[in-house]
Chains A and B, each alone.
Chain A
């Protein structure tokens, strides 16, 4: 059973640029959630994808968007990067329904620095 893998692990961008972060969910999981974690803070919910559709969104502007693919992998896209977007971006997969439903398995994260 493979866990959640994210890429890239680290990246540096400049203000105004765009970034795409990728996530492969744990085998058997059909739901992917994305979180932003600033230093010293808890993860902040960005959005969740289920069956390739957005299934709930946190308090993030539209320049944060995402995709889920038929194999349940996912992308997080951020346009017009701002300095405050510098953070650790965590992807978590889970299973909707059944035993162990909704327990999040996190990837190691992608650390984004915006200069």
Chain B
């Protein structure tokens, strides 16, 4: 992706908490999306932070600092079905053109 950095792979234990970090260039981006993609499937929307701060949605939370070009996705009470790739996706310019990072492949072990 366009200067979007996130870890390639992470492993966590069922029931635990994991944080997936994402850094990106700050110019031209407006907020940030997170998408989940299971192997062999299309990406699905998880969250959108338009302002700085923490957005919580059930077991998933997402944080954004626009000035630092930094975001993280926090997954709590991990379940086996959370094994997937997590894509950090800043919109470019008008917020309608979304640029994806390479994704973090998260593996959950029992």
**A and B are partners in one complex rather than unrelated chains:** yes
Contact A48 B43 (CB under 8 A): no
A contacts with B, residue count (CB < 8 A): 26
A41 to B2: give the CA distance in the assembly, Å: 13
Q: Is the CB of B1 closer than 8 A to any CB of chain A?
A: yes
Chain B residues closer than 8 Å to A101, beta-carbon distance = 95-96
List B46-85 residues whose CB lies under 8 Å from chain A: 48, 85
Q: Is the CB of A35 closer than 8 A to any CB of chain B?
A: yes
Contact A45 B42 (CB under 8 A): no
A-B contacts counted at CB < 8 A amount to 61
Contact A31 B1 (CB under 8 A): no
Chain A residues closer than 8 Å to B91, beta-carbon distance = 102
With beta carbons under 8 angstroms apart, the residue of B96, B100, B101 that contacts A31 is B96
Contact A42 B103 (CB under 8 A): yes
Contact A90-B98, Cβ < 8 Å, known A41-B103, A42-B87, A102-B91: no
Which 4 pairs from chain A and chain B are nearest by CB? A106-B42, A42-B100, A56-B97, A42-B102
- Pull 25 A–B residue pairs with CB atoms less than 8 Å apart, ordered by A: A31-B96, A33-B98, A35-B100, A42-B101, A42-B103, A43-B43, A43-B100, A44-B1, A44-B100, A50-B96, A56-B92, A58-B99, A90-B42, A90-B43, A101-B96, A102-B48, A102-B91, A102-B98, A103-B33, A103-B45, A104-B35, A104-B45, A106-B42, A107-B42, A109-B42
Chain B contacts to A: CB under 8 angstroms: 1, 33, 35, 41-45, 48, 85, 87, 91-93, 95-103
